[in-house]
Amino acid sequence: MVVTSFLTLEKPSQGLYKEKGSKFLAFAYPVKNEVEIKEKLAALRKEYFDARHHCYAWMVGAEKKQFRANDDGEPNHSAGDPILGQIRSKNLTNVLVVVVRYFGGTKLGVGGLIAAYKTAAEHALEEGKIIEEEVRMQFEWNFPYANMNEVMRLIKEFDLSLVKQQFDTECMVWVEVRMAHKEALVTRLQLLKDLGVSIEVKLIES
């Protein structure tokens, strides 16, 4: 089954949880790839350099196949997994949640840590606004100027987003199509090709 939409955060949000003197600062971000994730983690580590732990979990991709949980020195599975569990429980993706811990002097035990990281992550996600986004794909179309009208008609009919364009004797456009419209668009492009309308199509890898 083709995934055509997913739930994510509209913008960053924060949460806070305190337990026996320890403070758990939670930060949730909408992200699109691992480059963004590394940037967010680096910025938090720089800002909260004096914190003992920066535990996190993330998930990216509409099919939710890319994810990671990191305990950052806490006992195994006591921090990253509870954070990831909160992302999953809200059916989110393209999300990073980081929980920064300031140790308060009293050990919480594995059970206490699991509850604390889970609750902190939950608070951050509950403070955020969850939105539904459509899965989109980008294609590069190359075509002679003579076929401009056909291309513009397709862009309008399928409500495609123009990412980049270059018009000359030989023209090029990058278009973004909703996954839900992909098959119908491919069918139309094939029909135009059969009628002699030349539009070369390349998938842009994200």
Asked whether residue 44 falls in the same domain as residue 62, the answer is yes
Domain end: 92, 107, 133, which one?
133
User: Which of 3-7, 58-62, 140-144: highest mean pLDDT?
Assistant: 58-62
Asked whether residue 21 falls in the same domain as residue 85, the answer is yes
Asked whether residue 129 falls in the same domain as residue 156, the answer is no
Give the structural domain span for 32: 5-133
Domain end: 85, 101, 133, which one?
133
User: When comparing pLDDT for 204 and 76, which is higher?
Assistant: 76
Asked whether residue 141 falls in the same domain as residue 189, the answer is yes
Domain end: 77, 102, 133, which one?
133
Q: Which residues pair with 174 in a beta bridge?
A: 140, 164
Q: For residue range 167-205, list pLDDT tens digits in order.
A: 888 888 989 888 888 888 888 888 888 777 777 777 765
Taking all residues of the chain, what is their mean pLDDT, rounded to a whole number? 91
**pLDDT value for 1:** 67
Asked whether residue 177 falls in the same domain as residue 86, the answer is no
Q: Cβ(37)–Cβ(57) under 8 Å? A: no
Q: How many domains does the chain have?
A: 2
User: When comparing pLDDT for 163 and 90, which is higher?
Assistant: 90
Asked whether residue 41 falls in the same domain as residue 58, the answer is yes
Task: Please list, in sequence order, all residues whose beta carbon lies within 8 angstroms of the beta carbon of residue 124, skipping any fewer than 6 positions away.
Answer: 13, 14, 15, 26, 27, 28, 97, 99
Asked whether residue 93 falls in the same domain as residue 147, the answer is no
Asked whether residue 101 falls in the same domain as residue 141, the answer is no
Asked whether residue 180 falls in the same domain as residue 83, the answer is no
Q: For residue range 8-45, list pLDDT tens digits in order.
A: 999 999 999 999 999 999 999 999 999 999 999 999 99
Asked whether residue 28 falls in the same domain as residue 85, the answer is yes
Asked whether residue 18 falls in the same domain as residue 116, the answer is yes
Q: Cβ(97)–Cβ(127) under 8 Å? A: no
- What CATH number does the domain containing 72 carry? 3.30.230.30
Q: Is the pTM of this model over 0.85?
A: no
How far is Cα 9 from Cα 138, in angstroms, rounded to an integer? 22
pLDDT at 51 over 70: yes
Asked whether residue 127 falls in the same domain as residue 163, the answer is no
